Amino acid sequence: MPRPLRMPVVPLLATPILLSACSQGKDATITVSNSDPTATIVSHIDGDSVLEGIDIEFRGVVADGEDAYDSLLVTWTSGGTAICPEQPAVADGTTACTFPLTRADTGEGGLVVKDT
């Protein structure tokens, strides 16, 4: 029987870096921020059913307004475990992973993206 597949996007958190500088005896604070990259799964939607043990291609798109695609690392997960190894995004921001889901998979997974 087909099993539902849930693939939520997993956001990453970024922390601003605070720098302190001195100029002519005065302190200045500069905030350097780096926005989180985004990830969208485009091959499946929440609640899709797939056949157990059959290779399934998962596809997604990642982006970051401040970093080049080749500096983004993507990982596909199922049940908190990587099902495809971490790899750089393709030059156009796309990513894909082919994997046969089984009953051992929790049905929850996602596309994780981080910038380097």
Average pLDDT, the chain: 78
Residue 36's CB: how many other CB atoms inside 10 A?
Answer: 15
27-61 pLDDT, tens digit per residue, is 777 777 778 899 999 998 888 888 889 999 999 99
- Determine the pLDDT at residue 75: 95
For the chain, percent of residues with pLDDT exceeding 70: 76
pLDDT score, position 114: 92
Edge-to-edge strand list for the sheet holding 94-100: 38-41, 55-63, 94-100
Domain over 3-10+36-115 is classified CATH 2.60.40: yes
Query: What pairs with residue 23 in β-bridges?
Result: 26
pLDDT at residue 24, rounded to an integer: 62
- Residue identified by tokens 């921020």 is 33
Q: Which two tokens stand for residue 108?
A: 């929850």
> What backbone torsions phi and psi does residue 93 show, to the nearest 5 degrees?
90, 5
pTM of the predicted structure, to 2 decimals:
0.68
